[in-house]
Amino acid sequence: MFIPAREVACSTSAPVRQSLAHAEACRADDVVLTGDRPTGALHLGHFAGSLATRLALQGRCMQTLLIADLQALTDASGRAAQVAAHVEEVALDYLAAGIDPALTTIAVQSRLPALAELTVLYLNLVTVARLERNPTVKAEIELRGFARDIPAGFLCYPVSQAADITGFRATLVPVGDDQLPMIEQTNEIVRHLNRLAGAPGDAPVLTECRALLSATPRLPGVDGRKASKSLGNAVPLGASADDLRRLVHAMYTDPGHARASDPGRVEGNVVFAYLDAFDADLAAVEELKARYRRGGLGDAPVKRRLVDVLEQLIAPMRARRAALANDRAYVRNVLREGIARADDVTRRVLRVVRRAFALGE
């Protein structure tokens, strides 16, 4: 069973359209790579943050999506079975969102041994002090309460991510701003390797990549906190119509806006953050904001509008996901083919990097 991506209504959704304008930044010879940790179902934050950009880039240049199960294990080794189970779920989410395997390669990190070997080699180009300075890793250590018990693999995951990026010779990486430190570390490794590998003036072994930042700022969870699977405050891409309604009704608005007649705050109001990200009618949203601020507009009609906007985006994904969920053999086949293609590409890169370390083939 295969439904061409064109038929997926969400490919013309507001964030995809914004990302399309934004994707002009890509050149036909760009190689795009991004990844997701398979720790749970993908949600609207993933969609606005980078999936929309990937849909916009699809067909314009070479693109690979990597399901980063090894990276997920760096802080979830006790939940290995869940990580393994989510690999196929993330692939399903990609396909349901409109990723077309004829145009985009979907691969699984742990099935690409060249990436693990690249990681081991790159670890020699990075100091522990540099790893400890990565601001995203620092924030995550804090958030997870690792204190002094940081898994070594976790501290080193930016190096594994550098292997992901360079293993595909990626030049463009669509990510949220929290991933910028990873891009910076990747490019440091690339420069270090190039210095190591040849005399000045030689063609570089690897080339640096650039980040393609999402057009939408990071989406909060329904409670206004950071969207997270463990808090259950994210809106999954596969949400049922009931769940969607429930999640939107639970959204944090303005506690000072008790009656419809009270003036309300739009800043920090989750409903408006989602309307900004997903409602294509920008003028209508501005008009609603003005009425809300003035007083005289309750939460209920704004939430109803958001439910409609999100239902339009999610309904085709939900239908497609349901159809694909009944055709697991198709999903497995997509992964099998993607992994074979990616294995080939990454082994070729490994060969030249091994040479830079004076290792034989």
Q: Write out the residues near ligand TRP by the rule CB under 6 A.
A: 33-37, 66, 68, 71, 161, 164-165, 173, 175, 179
Rank residues 15 and 35 by Cβ distance to ligand TRP and give the closer one: 35
Rounded to 5, what percent of the chain is helix, strand, coil? Answer: 60, 10, 30
Rank residues 33 and 108 by Cβ distance to ligand TRP and give the closer one: 33
Burial of residue 320 (number of CB atoms within 10 Å: 0-12, 13-18, 19+): buried
Rank residues 117 and 164 by Cβ distance to ligand TRP and give the closer one: 164
Rank residues 75 and 279 by Cβ distance to ligand TRP and give the closer one: 75
Show Cβ contacts of residue 200 under 8 Å, excluding neighbours closer than 6 positions.
Answer: none
Position with the least CB separation from ligand TRP:
35
Length of the chain counted residue by residue: 361
| Nearest approach, Cβ of residue 75 and ligand TRP (Å) | 10
Angle (nearest 5°) at CA 351 between 104 and 67: 30
Q: What span, in angstroms and rounded, lies between the C-alpha atoms of 98 and 49?
A: 16
Rank residues 5 and 33 by Cβ distance to ligand TRP and give the closer one: 33
Which strand (E) or helix (H) includes residue 209? none
| Nearest approach, Cβ of residue 170 and ligand TRP (Å) | 7
| Nearest approach, Cβ of residue 209 and ligand TRP (Å) | 9
The single-letter code of the amino acid at 305 is: R
Q: What are phi and psi of 149, to 5 degrees?
A: -100, 55
Rank residues 30 and 36 by Cβ distance to ligand TRP and give the closer one: 36
Rank residues 264 and 338 by Cβ distance to ligand TRP and give the closer one: 338
| Nearest approach, Cβ of residue 156 and ligand TRP (Å) | 13
Q: What span, in angstroms and rounded, lies between the C-alpha atoms of 7 and 17?
A: 16
Q: What span, in angstroms and rounded, lies between the C-alpha atoms of 361 and 359?
A: 7
| Nearest approach, Cβ of residue 49 and ligand TRP (Å) | 8
Which strand (E) or helix (H) includes residue 8? none
Helix residue ranges, H only, 102-179: 113-122, 128-133, 135-144, 152-155, 157-167
| Nearest approach, Cβ of residue 36 and ligand TRP (Å) | 6
Rank residues 157 and 292 by Cβ distance to ligand TRP and give the closer one: 157
Contact present, 29 and 62 (Cβ < 8 Å): no
| Nearest approach, Cβ of residue 183 and ligand TRP (Å) | 8
Strand duo 31-36 + 62-67: pairing: parallel
User: Which pair of tokens denotes residue 317?
Assistant: 């994904």
| Nearest approach, Cβ of residue 192 and ligand TRP (Å) | 19
